[in-house]
Structure 1
C-alpha cells in the first residue's frame, strides 16, 4: 500500500480538531467543507502561487490574504476567517506542524512579507488564551458585519465597542467590522467613563442605542 502524501491541507485536516480549537480561541467560526473549497478551488485562482494542496510558505499566505482583504468587488470577506486561522497556525505552529515548516525567511522573503503586509490592512490581533478577553469569549463566534456608524454614534474609543474595523472602507463608505466580545477591562472602562443612569439617562440611552446598532449582540453575550 502506498503512503499518503503529507501536504499542508492534509496536515490541517488530519489535525482539524486542533485547528478548530485554535479558531475557537481566536473567536473564529470555520467549517471543514469551506476550508477545503477555498484551499483547493478559490485560492489557487488568485495567481499568487497558492497550490491546491495548500502551502506553509508565509509570503504566499500573506499574498492570498492581501487579495481577500481587497475592497469590493475584488475582496472576499467570507474567506477572511479561513486565511486568518491558516496564517495563525503557521506563525504559532503546534508541535505536529513544526517539523514541516520551511526554513525561516531570508532577506528576499522578508521584503515580500513586508510588501504583502503593506497591501493588507491587518486584522486585529486575537487575545492570548489566558487573557480575560479570551476567557470571556469562550464558545463565542466571530462575526463580520458591513455597517456604517449611526449619525450620533460618537467616538468609538470612548465606548469600547466590540466591533473593530477590518480593512479599508468600500466604495460606498461602509466599513467591514469584526465582532469582538467585550472584555472585563472594556466593561470597567465603560463604567468609569460614563455617568450613572439616574444622573444622565438620556446620554446612557443614546450610548446603548449605539452599542445595539454596531454590536448586534448574540446570546453568547448574555
Structure 2
C-alpha cells in the first residue's frame, strides 16, 4: 500500500501481515509511521493497495473496523471530549445496547482498572498528564476492541507515568501496536518494525530493531 500527501509519499509500497501480540513501530519524525498506524483503523485510507482487518477492507467497513481497532493519540487532550472523567469513558458505550446499570458497571470497572475511580466525577481537564493518558486509554478499552494502536502515548509524560503506561500495555489481552520514541519500552515485544522514508527498513526482534534504528540515526548528519 502507498499513501501520499500531495507530492510527498509518506507510505511507500508497504506490505505487512501483523499477527503478533505485541508489535512496536519506530522511526524518526516524518518517517511515515503515524500515517501507517492510522491506516489500521481506517483513519487514513491508502491511495493504492488495501488494509484488511479480520478480512474487512478499511474502505468499505469503517464502522466495523473501528469497533475492532481502538486508537490512542499522542496528546490525550485531543482525545478527551467530555467534561468529567466518567462521562468521557461512558460516551464510548452510548450505542452499545447495554442497559444503564450495565454501562455504569462497565465505566466503574474501567476507571478502577486504570486508577481513576476516585476521580470519577472530576473535571477531566484538571487531571495530570499521566492521568489524562490513562483516561484516554480507559475510554478506548471500555469498548473492548480486539486491537489497540497507540501512537506515541508516552511522549508528553514523565518517567513515572511512562512506566505506568508501559506496564499497562504489557498486561492487556488485546493485540497492541505501539509507536514510540522510548525505545526501552519495547523490551519483551514480539516484533518491532523500523520505518524510514515511508518504507519498512527492518523487521525483527526488539533488540535487533532498536540497534538497527540507533545505527541508522547515527549515520544522519
Whether TM exceeds 0.5 here: the answer is no
The structure whose RCO (Cα within 8 Å, separation 6+) is larger is 2
- Relative to the length of structure 2, the TM-score reads 0.26
Bigger fraction of residues in helix: 1
**Richer in strand (by share):** 2
